[in-house]
Structure 1
């Protein structure tokens, strides 16, 4: 009997959805360290992932042919090993569009309306009223990495009356992007942005992409948002651009090193708003990833190609 092993806790309703979609499959649910040895290697499908399961999933006699991870990012997984073993990998792309879009605008609006300073004043019982109060309307948002999240962010930006410029490898148009550019035109796009929003995955091409030259290419007084991947930014170059006043501020959810060291200069910058890698968190996470998994599971059970979120191992996303 083919087997599905779920390494995440599932409600009874979620388990029922799986068994109904793939009748004739055995479903095993449990944390990896609590499962008997060999459970993962005997599975055809693994739902969820933990580094502890890696050696077993990749051993010679492993039956694993498809892994559904709980995250959108797959940069920390052994992609080439999966490819060599003929394992299909699917991610949670699409789950995060709403929470990350709302997070992006939370950072931008908090900066514009000085909410971070007001909260600081509230905590210390001080009536802090200084600073510039900005508006999004009429400004330009440059969105680097226009996928599900980038498109949703562009839609929200247009609702605020912003002009949208998108940057993506293919240059394929998007209904919510006013001007789409290819990645070789990144600096041209950055030069026009009042708000530059990084939503890129981490690949060999994007690691360290936002360096001293990229920040110099941005318009003086721009606000930089990073909800993509921390290592896509050279943090020292970002700090320098902020300290020099070239950038007006930054909203950061991801960092080169996480947690950010307690003595890092970013902590003490009033023009920086930071969150602890929570942009994609939502109480609706499980139900959305289950929708993706069930759609793919039905196709897999019918021996059809997986229709959603299959990772291209060469592009690493």
Structure 2
């Protein structure tokens, strides 16, 4: 009888490999980033897969996928549903790096560090018209999950007023006022900074378009670290060009890589990062130790994974 199999399509530190193998001593564990390591029969025979991008010829053996990303839109969800395959995400592992990136945007745009970097490269000594500061301002966090909660916590260190938007509308520590998505129009006019950390679903597609940018202050900055398609990019470009908002920090885009012809590249009031806000030296460790291993122990005991189990009806 062949052994049950786990395929992990990432390179892992030896300590993480050891932890997994100790839990499943009688399983075959295939680990490696290169497709040559896990492709072919290995991926198709696997009962459990940990990874991000892979393709299967059959779903007959697969029972559970642990995504190595927070997003799940790239997976064949229809086939997963039809074959009763469980899916868990990597939500939560990004809270520190993405919240740090959010404040890197906020500080850079507010204190014009992006302008000064360009001036330095051109050897130009110029004031740049700097005058704004973050302290005591209002930040709206659209999507108060793990990232939003950490962002709210940091915002309080700057004495900021924190407004939050979440589906439940339930209160969260460090958030002064909580709203539901249908109250977004009440939140945007109040904000000096709008930070979007939502997942992409049918309901959130192009949540930010012309109407929403018109509701924002002309002095407000827009930050998107969720998914590119949360935003109608054409309307965002227009809002920036016409001064409806002051600037933007963008890590995600409707098309990635961002088209070289996009006007966003040449805007002085825009900071672009290539979908790297969640990158961290601790990424694999958090996915394996904080999500996969606890879920694996439960799975071996006959239970469904309890951490980050995706609800297919909600899309996250």
Do residues 27 (structure 1) and 29 (structure 2) align?
Answer: yes
Q: CA 1:34/1:22 → structure 2, altered by over 3 Å: closer, same or farther?
A: closer
| Distance in 1 (alpha carbons) for counterparts of 2:134 and 2:38 | 51
> Residue 188 of structure 1: which of 182, 186, 189 is its match?
186
Q: Which moved more, 1:212-221 or 1:23-32?
A: 23-32
Residue segments in structure 2 that go unaligned for 5+ positions in a row:
none
So what's the TM-score if we normalise by structure 1? 0.95
State the 1:259 CA deviation: 1.4
Do residues 38 (structure 1) and 65 (structure 2) align?
Answer: no
Q: Which moved more, 1:215-224 or 1:23-32?
A: 23-32
| Distance in 1 (alpha carbons) for counterparts of 2:166 and 2:58 | 34
Cα-to-partner distance string for 1:41-88 (whole Å, 9 max, x where unaligned): 21111111323x2x3253xxx211001111001112111211111111
Runs of 4+ residues over 6 Å off in structure 1: none
Residue 313 of structure 1 aligns with which residue?
312
Residue 16 of structure 1 aligns with which residue?
18
Q: Determine helix, strand or coil for the equivalent of 1:191.
A: helix
Q: Determine helix, strand or coil for the equivalent of 1:247.
A: coil
- Contact kept in structure 2, 1:165 and 1:179, CA below 8 Å: yes
Residue 65 of structure 1 aligns with which residue?
63
Q: For residues 274-293 of structure 1, what are the structure 2 equivalents within 5 Å?
A: 274-291=272-289, 292-293=291-292
Cα RMSD for the two superposed structures? 1.3
Q: CA 1:49/1:132 → structure 2, altered by over 3 Å: closer, same or farther?
A: closer
| Distance in 1 (alpha carbons) for counterparts of 2:263 and 2:122 | 22
Do residues 49 (structure 1) and 48 (structure 2) align?
Answer: no
| Distance in 2 (alpha carbons) for counterparts of 1:35 and 1:73 | 22
Residue 215 of structure 1 aligns with which residue?
213
So what's the TM-score if we normalise by structure 2? 0.95
Q: Determine helix, strand or coil for the equivalent of 1:176.
A: coil
State the 1:135 CA deviation: 1.1
> Residue 80 of structure 1: which of 78, 81, 88 is its match?
78
State the 1:274 CA deviation: 1.2
Cα-to-partner distance string for 1:109-159 (whole Å, 9 max, x where unaligned): 001111011111111222122213211111110000110001110111111
| Distance in 2 (alpha carbons) for counterparts of 1:287 and 1:122 | 38
Residue 108 of structure 1 aligns with which residue?
106
Residue 231 of structure 2 aligns with which residue?
233
Residue 266 of structure 2 aligns with which residue?
268
Q: Determine helix, strand or coil for the equivalent of 1:39.
A: helix
Residue segments in structure 1 that go unaligned for 5+ positions in a row:
none
